[in-house]
Structure 1
Amino acid sequence: MAQAQAPRRTTWVRNLARPTRAFIATEVGSTVVLLGAVLLALAWVNSPTGHTYEDVWSTELSIRLGAAEVSEDLRGWVNDGLMALFFFVTGLEIRRELDMGELRDRRRVAVPVVAALGGMLVPALIYLSFNLGTEAAHGWGIVMATDTAFALGVLALIGRRCPPRLRVFLLTLVVVDDVGALTVIALAYTDDLDVVPLALAVGVFVVVVAFRAAGVTHGAIYFVLGVMLWLALLESGVHATIAGVAMGLVATAYPPSRSALQQASSLWRSFREQPTSGLARSAGRGLRTAISPNERMQQIYHPVTSYLIVPLFAVANAGVEFNREIVGHAATSPITIGIIVGLVIGKLTGITGASWLASRRSLGRFPLTVPWRPLFGTAAVAGIGFTVSLFIAEISFDGQALEEAKLGIFAASVLATGLSWLIFRLVVRLPSQDASEMAGQAPALIDLSDPVDPEIDHIRGPADAPVTLVEYGDFECPYCGQAEAAIRALLAEFGADLRFVFRHLPLEDVHENAQRAAEVSEIAAVHGKFWEMHDLLFEHQDALTAPDMLEHASNLGLDRELVAEQLRRRKYWPRVTRDIDGADRSGVAGTPTFFVNGRRHHGAYDIETLARVVRAALAQQPTSP
């Protein structure tokens, strides 16, 4: 087979990109849209037709069914209704992090959790120091929030040279921050609690949990229950957006299993042989259920909330009139000053101080997952509280106090961005961190369940190389064939710094010859010719039938009859099964799947991308004294 040029982006990459990567990419992309929405609101309210801003958003909209009626102004429908979807996506992300992300290791997540708590407590105390004893003290929750979209967008722009784990740290911190903000909204900003609808809401949520436990997957049922939960909370006095995060938290997240993918393939083949409407529904259901409900719903709703609902919320709430009187009042207002100091200084000191305390040996020394220097910049980025801060401000204040709070939120967002830019500029100019500074940093989470065993695994390259690249591959997979060219170039480039391990994952439900090819390679391995057979099979991916296998074996000097007999007896299938079982334990369902020093690689597998990942792994190795 002719050597194929490894594509920069492949179907496999597009379909199996990590949910965290997709989440961050959506948030970063929507930052521009959100910024445009803010500018639109400001331009509108400060234009000659600025009086129409409040006229439009104060327009009443009612929905009536018989004697039942729900009536809100347009701003209320956005804040109480559409924003429930935003918090639903937040709930989905919290659950995904608990099931599959950094939060799955409860000890490792201690530092970002404690950092988030410090980043909520210190700003709140600073705000109260300016407003304690006044009616404005009710707004202490404003400074606890961090805007996910703006924070991730700013970090992507000004922290490009920082490690990817910094973005995951910020995302984890924001997730905990969101939980805290939602708790504050539910408990501190709930007035006139009505017990009867609240009890109804609890009952509805119990039904939702029971349906999830029973395996009910019909989306329409959960939609109806979600609407009922939202209405019950709205009537109870608890902020209705809590319904969104509650529904999101019950949506489990998990990687697609190999058995589910095999079942989906079987259903698709049945439909291909007999294309009936019934089999079409079965095939579609099989494909949908192979992916976790959490990932399916994030794919649907996350772009909608990021590119439509949050910008619409900004248009509805970010309109602040910049006239001399309002700005003059805000300049000396304890509300404005408390918000600015709380978000800009409080977030920075609270997050870094709490991280330092959590990582001290005297307190158990929880592992710190990011370097100290860029952590300061990340803490400054967290001072951008925009969306949720505006949300809590709308609940807390009205009139002039609300205008002063909005000005404080705007000013804090700008100042926090500038401060984080300055910190990251200083970080880039400082010399590289030495081994002593890196010593307190936790190693990366290991995704590869079965460590490399030189006595069993097939290793190409020096046994003591500092970086190990493991591939779960299929000899008949066209993408594995394309990746092979990149791997060979990678081994040539890094030499003694890299070793390559090939493990079997034959996808027999889609590649009928893959299983046989894996067994033939193991027969060759017994004779010390695994890598010769490995290369031969990838070079002839169009010739993997039983007669072809015997021809390949003969070309390598192996006994045709002996190979045929061992294939018939499936003598080396247990060795292949060992790799397959390891793939299942590591959550691998497709090929090729790569691990670099035990960490799963998500993204393209061209030479440029893989070389960048290997260089990053080399940079993380401790230097010799």
Structure 2
Amino acid sequence: MVKYIETFQEYISKESLSGIILFIATFLAVVVANSSLAEAYTALWHMPLGVTFGGSTISMDLTHWIDDGLMALFFLMVGLEIKRELICGELSSVQKASFPVVAALGGMIVPALIYVAFNRDAPLGFGIPMATDIAFALGILMLLGKKVNPAIKLFLVALAVVDDLGAVLVVATVYTSEIHTIYFIHAFVIYALIWLLNIKGVTKLWPYLILGLFLWIFIHKIGIHATVAGVLLAFAVPIKSKIDEKRFVLNAALALDTFKSHSTTDDILSHHQIDALENIAHGYDSVQNPLVKLEHNLHNISAFLIMPLFAFSNAGVAIEFSSFFEHITIVLGVVFGLIIGKPIGIFTFTFFATKFGIVKKPDDIAWSDVIAVGFLGGIGFTMSIFITHLAFLDQSLIDAVKLGVFMASFIAALIGVALIVMNNKRASV
């Protein structure tokens, strides 16, 4: 349990720092997009790049390589987080999972309904206000320091994991281009091979990653958004290590004894000591959980490279409100979905589910905390922008929605922070 708490605290710390870096990247993108460098900024991200595999060529501009390629790695990490939480985390039992699952459902359904209410004739953007940016939300909580109840952070993370799963399902089923069914067979064969590795007990990661690359290619060829390949791969990555902890400790102890017993006064290690170190290194590699190892490695890449790069390439929008008012119903659907739909959905779903005995609210979380988390869930930002690019093609519309997402996320963050501070003062009286 202590090990899990330490892992969770490390996760919180990295996500929080990532949120701050995301904010900096976003600020820089907006500044550049409204400066004399705006034209060069736009030209950079629309620069075409192509990659050829045998007789197959994939050609996209730089923005799409980030959105479809690098974001596939981000969704691979998201899928690994979801799988870990389902197996041994906050979603591993009905009792643990029920409250954040219900909260996440409310936080997705109500914002989507609000958006559709504003845009009955063009409901395609309903997925935009459904998203929650966990990095930004946790970054804000970190800035509040000890004023935040640790249980709130845990609830927000569990909610966001379910929210991410919902986003993946929406991306996979709604935001797809023309479907090319012939590539389904290719993707199915590759995915079957990946699962065969799992069934055969292969714990080395490189075979999964190589096959995952081909899975990404064929998913892209099908017309389904290629980031789905990351989630599919994540669920096939094994969670069991090659050897158990007791065996590792025993082997490591024997290797250390060998290392000590063959210690010499020479400046170089003896062959016996080198063999002992290699045994420890082999045991270190074998005892690591493949899923957690890959998630750990991807987390830094995602937090400090992929997401800031995504924010810098996608958040640059010229601040002018002509397109904003031209597409006002879509913008209002997004804004009200995030600011009003998220907190109302999260609170009402959990409140009534608790009243009817469907779920049980954690004792260390007050209803006022649930409302505060609801507003923090309204920080859509990067995930909302990601879905915006999938939902719309008109650049003026995309820019208008981005402004709406910025406004809504900022307002939701302010209200969420104010509520948390108020709740903390009330609890300390």
TM-score by length of 2: 0.90
Select the residue among 372, 375, 393 that pairs with 2:370.
Answer: 375
Select the residue among 393, 399, 403 that pairs with 1:407.
Answer: 403
Q: C-alpha displacement at 1:267, in angstroms? A: 4.6
Task: Indicate conservation of the 8 Å contact 1:386/1:410, yes or no.
Answer: yes
Task: Indicate conservation of the 8 Å contact 1:99/1:252, yes or no.
Answer: no
Task: Indicate conservation of the 8 Å contact 2:141/2:148, yes or no.
Answer: no
**How many pairs does the alignment contain?**
415
In 2 relative to 1, CA 379–290 (structure 1 residues): closer, same or farther, beyond 3 Å? same
The aligned amino acid for 1:349 is I
Partner of 2:59: 71
Q: C-alpha displacement at 1:200, in angstroms? A: 2.1
Task: Indicate conservation of the 8 Å contact 2:203/2:238, yes or no.
Answer: no
In 2 relative to 1, CA 275–71 (structure 1 residues): closer, same or farther, beyond 3 Å? farther
In 2 relative to 1, CA 260–424 (structure 1 residues): closer, same or farther, beyond 3 Å? same
Task: Indicate conservation of the 8 Å contact 1:122/1:350, yes or no.
Answer: yes
- Which stretch of structure 1 is more off in the superposition, 104-113 or 404-413? 104-113
Select the residue among 335, 339, 342 that pairs with 2:334.
Answer: 339
In 2, Cα distance between equivalents of 1:180 and 1:79: 18
In 2, Cα distance between equivalents of 1:161 and 1:295: 30
The aligned amino acid for 1:128 is V
Instruction: Say yes or no: does 1:298 pair with 2:295.
Output: yes
Q: Secondary structure of the residue that 2:96 maps to in structure 1?
A: coil
TM-score by length of 1: 0.63
Cα displacement string for residues 465-493 of structure 1 (whole angstroms, at most 9, x for unaligned residues): xxxxxxxxxxxxxxxxxxxxxxxxxxxxx
Select the residue among 356, 380, 385 that pairs with 2:351.
Answer: 356
Partner of 2:425: 429
Partner of 2:284: 287
Q: C-alpha displacement at 1:291, in angstroms? A: 2.3
Partner of 1:469: none
- Which stretch of structure 1 is more off in the superposition, 249-258 or 155-164? 249-258
Partner of 1:46: 34
Instruction: Say yes or no: does 1:419 pair with 2:405.
Output: no
In 2 relative to 1, CA 69–18 (structure 1 residues): closer, same or farther, beyond 3 Å? same
In 2 relative to 1, CA 229–391 (structure 1 residues): closer, same or farther, beyond 3 Å? same
Partner of 1:84: 72
| Percent of aligned pairs sharing the same letter | 34
Q: C-alpha displacement at 1:257, in angstroms? A: 2.7
Q: Secondary structure of the residue that 1:238 maps to in structure 2?
A: coil
Partner of 2:162: 176
In 2 relative to 1, CA 416–159 (structure 1 residues): closer, same or farther, beyond 3 Å? farther
Partner of 2:268: none
Q: Secondary structure of the residue that 1:71 maps to in structure 2?
A: strand
In 2, Cα distance between equivalents of 1:416 and 1:126: 16
Task: Indicate conservation of the 8 Å contact 1:162/1:374, yes or no.
Answer: no
After TM superposition, the structure 1 = structure 2 runs for residues 202-601 of structure 1, keeping only pairs within 5 Å, are 202-253=188-239, 257-267=245-255, 269=257, 274-275=271-272, 280-329=277-326, 333-360=328-355, 362-368=356-362, 370-398=365-393, 399-431=395-427
Provide structure 1 residue ranges, at least 5 long, that are not aligned to the other structure: 1-12, 434-625
Q: C-alpha displacement at 1:280, in angstroms? A: 5.0
Task: Indicate conservation of the 8 Å contact 1:340/1:411, yes or no.
Answer: yes
Q: C-alpha displacement at 1:234, in angstroms? A: 0.5
Q: C-alpha displacement at 1:261, in angstroms? A: 2.8
Task: Indicate conservation of the 8 Å contact 2:99/2:359, yes or no.
Answer: no
Cα displacement string for residues 554-589 of structure 1 (whole angstroms, at most 9, x for unaligned residues): xxxxxxxxxxxxxxxxxxxxxxxxxxxxxxxxxxxx
Q: C-alpha displacement at 1:423, in angstroms? A: 1.2
In 2 relative to 1, CA 263–178 (structure 1 residues): closer, same or farther, beyond 3 Å? same
Per chain length, whose mean CA-contact separation is higher, i.e. which structure has more relative contact order (CA < 8 Å, sep 6+)?
2
In 2, Cα distance between equivalents of 1:91 and 1:262: 33
Cα displacement string for residues 348-398 of structure 1 (whole angstroms, at most 9, x for unaligned residues): 0000111112212x3434343522221211111000011111111001112
Q: C-alpha displacement at 1:283, in angstroms? A: 2.9
In 1, Cα distance between equivalents of 2:282 and 2:180: 41
Task: Indicate conservation of the 8 Å contact 1:95/1:250, yes or no.
Answer: no
- Which stretch of structure 1 is more off in the superposition, 280-289 or 397-406? 280-289
Partner of 1:19: 7
In 1, Cα distance between equivalents of 2:325 and 2:117: 21
Q: C-alpha displacement at 1:70, in angstroms? A: 1.3
Kindly name which structure, 1 or 2, has the bigger radius of gyration based on alpha carbons: 1
In 2 relative to 1, CA 107–252 (structure 1 residues): closer, same or farther, beyond 3 Å? farther
Task: Indicate conservation of the 8 Å contact 1:193/1:238, yes or no.
Answer: yes
Q: C-alpha displacement at 1:265, in angstroms? A: 3.6
User: What is the root-mean-square deviation of aligned Cα atoms in Å?
Assistant: 2.3
The aligned amino acid for 2:290 is P
Q: C-alpha displacement at 1:294, in angstroms? A: 2.3
Select the residue among 6, 14, 20 that pairs with 1:32.
Answer: 20
In 2, Cα distance between equivalents of 1:315 and 1:72: 18
Q: Secondary structure of the residue that 2:95 maps to in structure 1?
A: coil
The aligned amino acid for 2:422 is L
In 2 relative to 1, CA 210–96 (structure 1 residues): closer, same or farther, beyond 3 Å? same
The aligned amino acid for 1:425 is V
The aligned amino acid for 1:218 is K
Task: Indicate conservation of the 8 Å contact 1:107/1:367, yes or no.
Answer: no
Q: C-alpha displacement at 1:328, in angstroms? A: 4.5
- Which stretch of structure 1 is more off in the superposition, 307-316 or 318-327? 318-327
Partner of 1:163: 149
